[in-house]
Amino acid sequence: MELNWSTFLLEILNFLILLWILKRFLYQPVLDTIANRQAGIEQTLANAQTIKTDAEALQSQYESRLKQWNEERDTARETLRREMAEERERQMLNLQEALAQEKEKARVIDEKERFDTLRKYQEASLELGARFTARLLTHLAGQDLEIRLFDLALRQLDTLPVDRLNAIRMACEETPEEAEVATAFPLKPAHRQQLAEKLSSLLDMPVNCHFVEDSELLAGLCITLGPWVFHANLQAELKSFAESAHEPN
């Protein structure tokens, strides 16, 4: 066993060459590859971290927006509930008002119906009463009643208003004609004379009277002078009584 200097030196040289070969073809490429892979992994991790950060930001934003939406929804729901309550209140008031109007209308209609019914009953009663009275007076009418009606006619002639008398007078002056006096029973001459004088004194002009009998008058008289007709008989009174049922109250 002895040291071979050639081997010693060549081995030193060999190792240095091997060192260079492995560094050039093994260590450096492998380390570069690992570094690249590590850089890629770190880049991926950084990207993932960025994505995670963005996702968290988005999540936070979405949660904030969701919270805002919930608040807006609650506010809108509260507003809607309040508006619905107000609308319901308004509708209830309108309904109550309409109901009151309907009630009033129904009350008015009912009252009108009752009034019409009452009026119809009144008319029927008056007509019935008029027929009954006419039939009764047909049997009761006589000379005595005729005389009392004659006296009543004379008193009513005395109470005629002046302007009415002037109008009758003017009509007689324009078309002078005789007065037609219809009576249910024949008038006595004295009464005929009294009536003619009464008319002449009222109209301040001579008035010729033409006396006729009309049994339909039942009792009393009817004076027709031009356009003026003066009734003082039962038929006219009963007719007036029956027509009064149709007059408005």
Partner 1 sequence: MGNDLNSAQLFAIGQIQVTLTVATTWGIMALLGLLSWISTRKSRTHPSYLQTAVEGIVSSIEAAIANAAPQHSKTLLPFIGTLWVYLALANLIGLVPGLDSPTRDISQTSALAILLFFSVHWFGIRSQGLKNYLRHYLTPSPILLPFHLISEATRTIALAIRLFGNMMSLEMAALLVLMVAGFLAPVPLLMLHVIEALVQAYIFGMLALIYVAGGMQSQDLHQQKEVDKENS
Q: Does 166 bind partner 1 (CB under 8 A)?
A: no
Between strands 179-183 and 209-213, the pairing is: parallel
In angstroms, rounded to a whole number, what is the distance separating the alpha carbons of residues 152 and 219?
Answer: 12
Q: Does 23 bind partner 1 (CB under 8 A)?
A: yes
Cα angle: 17, vertex 22, 26; to 5 degrees? 165
Query: Of 18-26, 73-81, 175-183, 196-204, which segment contacts partner 1 by CB under 8 A?
Result: 18-26
Interface pattern 31-70 for partner 1 (x via CB under 8 A): xxxx-xx--x------------------------------
Tell me the CA distances in angstroms from 104 to 93, 100, 116, one per residue in order. Answer: 16, 6, 18
Report the candidate in 238, 150, 240 with the shortest Cα–Cα distance to residue 192. Answer: 150
Give me the least distance between CB of 57 and partner 1, in Å please. Answer: 31
> Which CB sits closer to partner 1, 5 or 155?
5
Q: Does 162 bind partner 1 (CB under 8 A)?
A: no
Of residues 17, 57, 140, 152, which one binds partner 1 by CB under 8 A? 17
Q: Does 100 bind partner 1 (CB under 8 A)?
A: no
> Which CB sits closer to partner 1, 18 or 170?
18
> Which CB sits closer to partner 1, 36 or 53?
36
In angstroms, rounded to a whole number, what is the distance separating the alpha carbons of residues 133 and 139?
Answer: 10
Of residues 12, 84, 108, 167, which one binds partner 1 by CB under 8 A? 12
Q: Does 80 bind partner 1 (CB under 8 A)?
A: no
Q: What would the two tokens of residue 135 be?
A: 């039939």
Q: 């008038």: which residue's tokens?
A: 187
Interface pattern 118-157 for partner 1 (x via CB under 8 A): ----------------------------------------
Instruction: Measure the N-to-C terminal CA separation of the chain; round to a whole number of Å.
Output: 166
Of residues 5, 189, 190, 247, which one binds partner 1 by CB under 8 A? 5
**C-beta of residue 126 within 8 angstroms of C-beta of residue 244:** yes
Q: Where are the beta strands (DSSP E) in the chain?
A: 179-183, 209-213, 220-225, 228-233
- Residues at the interface with partner 1 (CB under 8 A): 1-12, 14-19, 21-23, 25-27, 29-34, 36-37, 40
